[in-house]
Chains A and B, each alone.
Chain A
């Protein structure tokens, strides 16, 4: 369908008008914009890895970056990354399946509330729980160890988060609710007759679970597993907090160290490692699409079935306790720690005479904090809006039209999936530094904004194309026939129907931006800091108590947005 200019103005005798060239021009513009957001940083990464000097300086082209890759340190980092990610994914998956089953298929009391509580950690920025757990699980002064010693009278140490186990545990807090969100609707939406017919064929409850329920869940579970594993490979916060201090290195921290922890930043090494990581991610995604190809999800439809609920008897209090324990460990304990340390002079010394409001005062008077607070909010609002608009347009073109160029758009928009924030960060660092001075992106908020939009685009496309898929094409066509133009139809029918999904996507992207650390840490300059960067800097600068205060501010923002999302958007969706 052609766009824009009403035919009456165009004159029926001259059909070749703006409508004819307007659309290809629009598509070309979109491809250029997407190319700048995705291909450009990748190309710059490659360029940087072959160039001997930092961006903007004269140098020569060589392969030193790649020649220096094969060090024992990098190899160790690769092994560490892989093992940590596999372990945390397996554990998270097992836990998430258990929790999803409890919430969706049993008569455990308070399931509705439990579901909200279980998924909450997904929305809390990892840097916040990282600082909290650093204070909870520190071997010497961690609150858990202090409490343990006080209770048992021993001098021992119960937990030490500065370890492989600590990294895995911290990653799990994020990825368990992630997988849970991914699979819970599949558990819930399953057509009960599929299981009932198994029982009628003579299978026991247990046989039915394995051969039917689990079998039907397998595609979505595999998908969640692979996605979570890839996210684990890209993760930065857990390793930088709990690995770096004790010498456990992963790929992302290795890249970070090459740039920030050397007397002379090794840009070539960092970009080469970044590009190698990119190649690895690409391989993983190829494997993922191979594994998932031909797997159908159609048994699990969007239809509202009421699934079979297992009656657990007294066991339902056990399942209830498991859910509550998960919430306490992932939310209540870390948040409690942040509150605790924000009120004491020094964390780890909890005596009444050490109580103080100084940290609140200092944060309140801290210009750096307010700047970062403003930047985070501004970038969050602008970034989420821009990303959703872009994603909404891309999804429309790729799912609803047969326009030429839509495949290319689809692929370009998908590319950031395989770019860890850290890698995209370096790509943009090079890309922006190399731009002429007339295009002042480097060192401005634009740099961060563009990176956030690039990172958020795949999510936005996924959310909106899912929403479009639910809207029958008839509804649009009916509008066209009854006199509405293309833009009117877009606004009054498609967007009007899909807006709850837009809102959900917007909030997701907003959370993503608030949480983002690994790209921000490379692209910020002193005036464009965001909250997560300030937290990391103050943490490294030895101010854990002030960090707690900032963490609590972030937490309040998270809770407000999550509440709005659940309260208004979900209700709106359920009435449709």
Chain B
């Protein structure tokens, strides 16, 4: 049985549907991320799970208990939902010590003093903050506040851990470090986690599954790699990086494994690509090619059968340290190409662009 289930959950502000009928199931021990641009409804969804906002439609079930049912006017208060949450601002209470902050979820539930002590210290040890227990909370750095917030969210061993953009207030280096640490902790404790972020890399690195949201709707749910390489729609594809899109016509379609291989013709090239649904010859499709999946070859380099091939000239190059972003003009069409910085072509070079069928993904036009 899933740990958290959302069915038709929506939140409306007048005519605006901030969240529009979202269905989700978070499995036990799973790390699920709600990903989307600001204003897409991801935070509102999280807050409805927390009980900080009331859903106007649908039901929410946490750990087998229905905590909210809009139709039946059932609404369990946030404090009765047995959750842990890390806020974007960390919400560390400035009038308490680190210990008191972490002890709060236990002390409001009137646990015995001795038990509070051991559990708080255990939680602080998990985040390597036990040495700071008696510090006043305002005397902490951003990273330390974040650790305290995580310890506080974990101390009650909640049914579900909710995190609202917890890394966004940290600088880049600390962000990836804290992200890795948190992921390791979550794997070890096997705690069900619902995570909200607008940062795609963060979502990819941390999650078991990602929910891509836009305009209040869940566009696609899947493993990070699936969502990245096999997007369900142009909107999902475009949310990650700046992929190349090519209009093409289907010539042939054959099933292979759990997907289909298409032979297509478009933008002056002919070759193969993959797609989710069977297509009929003559259908138009939109082919997505990730910039880093375009292989650069010398000009006039021959292609393997099935490869999509274009010939063009490099018009622009931006050095980004580990890699170089090139713009290649092929038959008046601009391709974005990402390649290792040391193995890039120079501006003005004639090149061949080669894409394997595995790396070209057709979306229904």
Contacts and interface: CB of A to CB of B under 8 A. Distances in A.
Interface of A: 1-2, 6-8, 12, 15-16, 472, 474-475, 477-486, 488, 492-493, 496-497, 576
Interface string B74-90: 11111111111101110
Contact of B153 (A2, A6, A482, A576): A482
B46 to A, nearest CB: 11
Given A7-B80, A472-B89, A481 B73 contact: no
Contacts of B76: 7, 12
B50 interface: yes
Given A497-B94, A576-B94, A15 B105 contact: no
B363 to A, nearest CB: 39
Contacts of A474: 87-89, 91
Nearest to A481: B85
A6 B81 CA distance: 12
B79 A480 contact: yes
B104 A479 contact: yes
Contacts of A493: 93
A477 B47 CA distance: 10
A482 B77 CA distance: 11
B108 interface: yes
Nearest to B89: A474
A438 to B, nearest CB: 42
Given A482-B153, A483-B156, A2 B94 contact: no
A576 B82 CA distance: 30
B362 to A, nearest CB: 44
Contacts of A481: 50-52, 78-79, 81, 83-85, 162
B95 interface: yes
B39 interface: no
B269 to A, nearest CB: 53
A15 B72 CA distance: 9
9 contacts: A6-B77, A12-B76, A474-B88, A474-B91, A480-B52, A481-B50, A481-B52, A484-B79, A576-B95
A15 B109 contact: no
B290 interface: no
A478 B80 contact: no
B205 to A, nearest CB: 25
A482 B84 contact: yes
A12 B85 contact: no
Contacts of B83: 481-482
Given A481-B83, A482-B104, 20 more contacts: A472-B89, A472-B91, A475-B93, A477-B91, A478-B93, A480-B77, A481-B52, A481-B84, A482-B79, A482-B83, A483-B82, A483-B156, A484-B104, A484-B108, A485-B77, A485-B79, A485-B108, A488-B108, A493-B93, A497-B94
A163 B213 CA distance: 75
A7 B95 contact: no
B340 interface: no
B158 to A, nearest CB: 8
B198 interface: no
B209 interface: no
Interface in B84-117: 84-85, 87-89, 91, 93-95, 104-105, 108-109
Nearest to B77: A7
Most chain B CB inside 10 Å of its own CB: which residue of A483, A493, A497? A483
A15 B78 contact: no
Most chain B CB inside 10 Å of its own CB: which residue of A16, A482, A483? A482
B152 interface: yes
A12 B80 CA distance: 11
Interface of B: 50-52, 66, 73-85, 87-89, 91, 93-95, 104-105, 108-109, 138, 152-153, 156, 162
A164 B153 CA distance: 67
Nearest to A477: B52
B156 A482 contact: yes
A482 B152 contact: yes
B93 A497 contact: yes
B105 A483 contact: yes
Nearest to B102: A482
A15 B74 CA distance: 6
A280 B323 CA distance: 73
Given A482-B104, A488-B108, A12 B74 contact: yes
Contacts of B89: 472, 474
A7 B79 CA distance: 10
A574 B79 CA distance: 32
Contact of B95 (A6, A8, A496): A496
Contacts of B51: 480-481
B192 to A, nearest CB: 15
Nearest to A482: B105
Contacts of A480: 51-52, 77-79
A374 B74 CA distance: 54
A537 to B, nearest CB: 47
A163 to B, nearest CB: 53
B65 to A, nearest CB: 8
Contacts of B82: 483
A480 B93 CA distance: 13
Contacts of B153: 482
Nearest to B50: A481
A131 B249 CA distance: 99
Nearest to A472: B89
Given A481-B50, A483-B79, A475 B91 contact: yes
A132 B242 CA distance: 80
A479 B107 CA distance: 11
Contacts of B77: 1-2, 6-7, 480, 485-486
A204 to B, nearest CB: 40
A573 to B, nearest CB: 11
A478 B95 contact: no
A44 B208 CA distance: 70
A524 to B, nearest CB: 42
A492 B89 CA distance: 19
A483 B78 CA distance: 7
Contacts of B75: 15
A497 B100 CA distance: 14
Nearest to A480: B78
B289 to A, nearest CB: 42
A576 B104 CA distance: 19
A472 B80 CA distance: 22
A187 B198 CA distance: 39
Contacts of A479: 93, 104, 108
A42 B76 CA distance: 44
B108 A483 contact: yes
A501 to B, nearest CB: 13
Nearest to A489: B79
A480 B79 CA distance: 5
Contact of A482 (B73, B85, B138): B85
A486 B108 CA distance: 11
Nearest to A19: B77
A482 B314 CA distance: 56
A13 to B, nearest CB: 8
Contacts of B95: 496-497, 576
Contacts of A2: 77
Most chain B CB inside 10 Å of its own CB: which residue of A475, A479, A480, A488? A480
B249 to A, nearest CB: 53
A475 B96 CA distance: 12
A262 B174 CA distance: 80
Nearest to B96: A496
A399 B234 CA distance: 43
A477 B171 CA distance: 25
A7 B153 CA distance: 22
Contacts of A472: 89, 91
A484 B81 CA distance: 11
A566 B105 CA distance: 35
